[in-house]
Structure 1
Amino acid sequence: MGKVRQRLADLREALSVGTMLCIGAFLLSACAGWLLNGSVYAHVAEYCGIAREVSTLFSAGLFLVLFFVASRKPEALDRRIMAVVSLGSLITALLVLSFALKLEDGPSTVLGFLFLNIGSVWAASLLALALASLPSPLAMTLAMVCGMPLGEVAVALLPMPSFEVGLIAITACDALMIALLYRGSAPALDRLTGSASAADLELANPESFLRPTHALFVCAFVFSVATGYELTLNEVAHAPVSSDLVSVVLVGVALWMLLGSQNDGKEDTLFSFSVLLVIAGFLVAPFTFDSGLPSANALQRIGVDSFKMLTLLVVLSVGRRNAFALLPTFTLVRCMMALGTDVGAVAGHTSNDLASANAQAAALIAAISLFAFIAFLWIGFRKFSFADTIRGVANVNADAGASEARDSFADSGAGAGAGASIEERCAQLGAEGGLTERETEIFAMLARGRNGQYVMDHYVISRNTVKSHVKHIYAKLGVHSQQELIDLVERYE
């Protein structure tokens, strides 16, 4: 009981204004998604069903664009300009879709969804930035594991409005999210836009960033296939079926995350829970084609929502270790999720079309999806660990990487290194570590605070070549980031 009381005291301390704003943003996000799928998309499906999948592709494309901008040109993400663009896009979407939905015009509807996605993508990104700006990991976790389940509770209690009201509410939710998170996201966003790009920092700190081919992104795609399947399977009047069980279980998951034992493997335990529920959903699906029971949808919804909670936790934990990896990692995860949702939606629609005429064919689709899901996890994720992914990201100090002030430490050495220049120290360390001549030269540049772009320009070599040299240097010297490398040279005697 003492541990529980202490945990509750810590949670009360973490419940700040910023935490409450993030929880409110989660509620708004859940309402916007619920209204979009149950109200607006349901109406659009009556005259232009493909518009829903095109809209999801728009979302994936916008997250991908944001990934490249955050990685290569972060200074372009000016907070004020992005707020104006996103709010303007939401107003434009409201005007365009108001006419398009009433006239049932397909091309105008698709155009309206593009503008709507611009606003919603930026609102989602601001939420990630605001969470990362909270003062402690506990505050971040509290906002996330409270906000997501409370969002499910809210949509379970609200009546589904008409598409006209739903459209207004969606744009209002996204706009209010942007307004609520504008100040709270400033610390993380300003730090990102005021530093070297993540692509440049990655050259000198390869272990501080997740590669686009990392298993996290692939896993996000695979789980999101189940998301799309769940949203479309057995839909009623083109709207997803719902179950109150989802909100109840997710509240239980949130309580376990907040009050349960704080062991290092909690992320992997949540992953296993998510996998089992998604598998159960695929198994139950063929038995629901005739009855229309929401059991398969509920199981998969709980599984994918738990996975979304886990994924966001991993992304934010990576962001706390390396603030410059936060937005690139988050946007690439969301891009893969959107693509996976589209694939799953096609499978769900196909199952619905076949269920009435050929239930065996519909069951075959569920069986194939289940086999592919299990096979992929068995082959690619037997040794994968979310906890190890977080711990594997090395801390990075971009300010140190951009500074030349480190040159002054040459006078602080003693013994063999006393009075030696940086180059002399690096030469001695390089010889001890078995570095090649070129690696020793690059080692000295990194020790002086030069970044990867400087090395590329100086030697006129490719980005991949610089990455390869840096990885070899770090492996031979037993360091994981440029800051650790600089500290190693500082301490050398």
Structure 2
Amino acid sequence: MAQREAKTLDGVFSKLEGRLKVRYLGIGFLWAWIYGSYETFAVYPERAGVGINADPSWVVSASAVVIALFAAGALLGRRTGNPPRWVVVAAGAATALGTALSALAPACPPLGTSLIWASGICTGIGSGTLYVLWGQALAQLDMESTELAIPAASTIIIASVLVLPYLPAPLGTIATVSLPLISCLMLWLTYRDVARTGNAGPAALERPAQGGIARPAAASATFARMGALLFIAYAVLGFSGAVQPDTDAPFFAFGIDWPTLIGSCCGIGLLACFIVYTVRPRFDALFRPIAVAICAACALLPWADLWAVFLAETLTTIADTMLTISAVLFVAQAAKRGAMNAALGTGIAQGSLQLGVLVGNVAGGMGAEAIAAAPTGLFTVALGLAVFFSLAWLLYPADRTIATAGMAGRRLAMQVGTGADGAATDAGAIGADPHPVSDSTTDERCRMLAESRGLSGREAEILGYLARGRSQPYIRDELVLSKNTVATHVKHIYQKLDVHSRQELLDLFE
């Protein structure tokens, strides 16, 4: 028994290593750079406060990154292949150079203004382009690797929380400057992996929908709504953070950035559970718990008590972590299914997100004094933000456009069994049955078998394809999974159903 468990554990780790390579976590170093640059003393040890509003170069950088994200998304989205490697190097170098210049600005008063502008432009353009490039690269991995890599990359933020705030000035600056360079190197290696696997680049992701159903136009509207919702969410978070008093109190009271540490861990854990236990993750379903966290953080705004600030900052970090990861993940998933260009989708999602951060923080900073002077200023703001954010949910009623269109096309193909030209849609399908089992009967039988035999959500989904005689290559193409992943799921299905061939499996549905 012990040997069997050890063998199983070794197999799990070997599969994990095959799908999750360290280089795929490079986007996490970009997130760590954002944390180290604007939320710690690593680069600016002399400034008062750890909030992003405490640094004058932030507004320049935040404005530049919004422009860079939309522009890079549009430009790279028009390419039919992966970008030249010099673009990757230039993006990482510009981000690192801008960080170094911003650290030099306080030491050179005569050049302070010029350095602030130069650093803001370099960091904004560099980080925005790097972000879009990462979104494009991650979308070209197989879906299992993507779903593992994006949440796992966020754990790098946890490590940065434990290290960056406590480094002395020179080391803190050097460490923060090195983060975009590390991310750049890992991005280079990821693109190299993509090229070795024979992926033709972004154009290969834009395949037509099954069943003749056009998805890209509908998906564009869906992503526009997602971008609007991200803008509103981050505008609310940014405004509340700018007007909330003593936002740095937990850090100075406990000597460690516990809200960011706890919030990041909880956000990663919640999102991992959502990915693992949901067959087809949708943004609107994920956003429901995020919306609760944002509204709760707004409700705590009027209280200046240490623990109220601590809880509000923790809830804000949970929402920020989940939104940041999910925005990248859902763009990658849509790109894999041909519903959205990866570069363009990343530019829209992240550009809207950063625009919300900019607008919220600037507006909150401008009105902070007036709000603090009013007797009920914070209560009014808290109520207004909560109501405004709740109404904004109407912009995103139900994110079924991408998933439903794809499912409709697949179901049509399964029921009809032929394409528009009359040819079979799946070369691996079993011979045509003049009296096929109805689709609803098959679905019900799949559900009963999944419940009685303990199939996972993904195994139950694949069982539905197998029950209709679909081949493994067809399943891999439809679900955008790797060959080994589908083979492993099929093996587990056979074991749990105690069958040894496809015909035996089909006999269970007769």
TM exceeding 0.5: yes
Structure 2 counterparts to residues 265-280 of structure 1, below 5 A: 267-280=283-296
2:128 to 121, 124, 128: 121
Q: Which residue of 2 aligns with 1:419?
A: none
What stretches of structure 1 of length at least 5 have no aligned partner?
A: 397-408, 414-493
Cα distance, 1:141 vs structure 2: 1.0
Instruction: Give TM-score scaled by structure 2 length.
Output: 0.64
Distance 1:211-1:171 versus aligned 2 partners, 3 A rule: same
Cα distance, 1:172 vs structure 2: 0.8
Q: Which residue of 2 aligns with 1:154?
A: 159
Distance 1:228-1:256 versus aligned 2 partners, 3 A rule: same
Structure 2 counterparts to residues 317-336 of structure 1, below 5 A: 317-322=333-338, 325-336=341-352
Q: Which residue of 1 aligns with 2:395?
A: 380
Distance 1:282-1:62 versus aligned 2 partners, 3 A rule: same
Structure 2 counterparts to residues 445-464 of structure 1, below 5 A: none
> AA paired with 2:140?
S
> AA paired with 1:151?
I
Structure 2 counterparts to residues 424-463 of structure 1, below 5 A: none
1:93 to 95, 98, 105: 98
Write the distance in 1 (CA, Å) between the matches of 2:161 and 2:258: 8
Tell me whether 61-70 or 119-128 shows the greater mean CA deviation.
119-128
Query: What CA deviation, in whole Å up to 9, does each residue of 1:23-43 have, x standing for no partner?
Result: 642442332111111234786
C-alpha contact 1:228 1:341 (8 A) present in aligned 2: yes
Structure 2 counterparts to residues 27-426 of structure 1, below 5 A: 27-38=28-39, 39=41, 40=43, 49-73=55-79, 78-90=83-95, 92-94=97-99, 96-104=101-109, 105-135=112-142, 137-148=143-154, 150-160=155-165, 161-162=167-168, 164-186=170-192, 207-208=215-216, 210-211=219-220, 214-229=224-239, 232=242, 233-234=244-245, 235-236=247-248, 243=259, 244-257=261-274, 259=276, 261-264=277-280, 267-288=283-304, 293-322=309-338, 325-350=341-366, 352-354=368-370, 356-358=372-374, 360-377=376-393, 379-381=394-396, 383-385=397-399, 388-392=401-405
Distance 1:85-1:309 versus aligned 2 partners, 3 A rule: closer
Tell me whether 332-341 or 298-307 shows the greater mean CA deviation.
298-307
> AA paired with 2:113?
G
Distance 1:81-1:268 versus aligned 2 partners, 3 A rule: same
C-alpha contact 1:58 1:117 (8 A) present in aligned 2: yes
Cα distance, 1:121 vs structure 2: 2.4
Write the distance in 1 (CA, Å) between the matches of 2:7 and 2:368: 50
C-alpha contact 2:69 2:347 (8 A) present in aligned 1: yes
What stretches of structure 2 of length at least 5 have no aligned partner?
A: 1-5, 410-419, 424-510
> AA paired with 1:215?
R
C-alpha contact 1:281 1:297 (8 A) present in aligned 2: yes
Distance 1:188-1:48 versus aligned 2 partners, 3 A rule: same
Distance 1:7-1:145 versus aligned 2 partners, 3 A rule: farther
Cα distance, 1:324 vs structure 2: 6.7
Write the distance in 1 (CA, Å) between the matches of 2:372 and 2:307: 11
Query: What CA deviation, in whole Å up to 9, does each residue of 1:325-366 have, x standing for no partner?
Result: 111101111111110011221344356535653352233222
> AA paired with 1:208?
P
Cα distance, 1:107 vs structure 2: 3.2
Query: What CA deviation, in whole Å up to 9, does each residue of 1:371-402 have, x standing for no partner?
Result: 1111111x323x322x5434446999xxxxxx
Distance 1:316-1:265 versus aligned 2 partners, 3 A rule: closer
Write the distance in 2 (CA, Å) between the matches of 1:141 and 1:188: 16
> AA paired with 2:248?
V
C-alpha contact 1:267 1:310 (8 A) present in aligned 2: yes
Distance 1:41-1:193 versus aligned 2 partners, 3 A rule: farther
C-alpha contact 2:205 2:335 (8 A) present in aligned 1: no
Cα distance, 1:52 vs structure 2: 1.4
Cα distance, 1:182 vs structure 2: 0.7
Cα distance, 1:194 vs structure 2: 8.0
Write the distance in 2 (CA, Å) between the matches of 1:87 and 1:159: 19
Cα distance, 1:154 vs structure 2: 1.6
Query: What CA deviation, in whole Å up to 9, does each residue of 1:188-244 have, x standing for no partner?
Result: 68967685998xx9xx99623532673111112122224424654443399997514
C-alpha contact 2:284 2:398 (8 A) present in aligned 1: no
Query: What CA deviation, in whole Å up to 9, does each residue of 1:21-67 have, x standing for no partner?
Result: 25642442332111111234786789985531221111010011112
> AA paired with 1:59?
V
C-alpha contact 1:208 1:394 (8 A) present in aligned 2: no
Cα distance, 1:246 vs structure 2: 0.7
Query: What CA deviation, in whole Å up to 9, does each residue of 1:127-160 have, x standing for no partner?
Result: 323322323x222111122222x23422332251
Write the distance in 2 (CA, Å) between the matches of 1:394 and 1:264: 10
Write the distance in 1 (CA, Å) between the matches of 2:7 and 2:258: 37
Write the distance in 2 (CA, Å) between the matches of 1:395 and 1:162: 57
Instruction: Give TM-score scaled by structure 1 length.
Output: 0.66
Cα distance, 1:318 vs structure 2: 0.5
> AA paired with 1:286?
P
Cα distance, 1:106 vs structure 2: 2.7
Distance 1:351-1:297 versus aligned 2 partners, 3 A rule: farther
Tell me whether 87-96 or 314-323 shows the greater mean CA deviation.
87-96
Distance 1:163-1:328 versus aligned 2 partners, 3 A rule: farther
C-alpha contact 1:280 1:299 (8 A) present in aligned 2: yes
SS at match of 2:309: coil
Tell me whether 103-112 or 19-28 shows the greater mean CA deviation.
19-28
Write the distance in 2 (CA, Å) between the matches of 1:324 and 1:264: 17
Distance 1:157-1:98 versus aligned 2 partners, 3 A rule: closer
> AA paired with 1:127?
W
SS at match of 1:211: helix
Distance 1:86-1:159 versus aligned 2 partners, 3 A rule: closer
Distance 1:342-1:359 versus aligned 2 partners, 3 A rule: farther
> AA paired with 1:110?
W
Root-mean-square deviation over aligned CA pairs:
4.3
% identical aligned pairs: 14
SS at match of 2:302: helix
SS at match of 2:189: coil
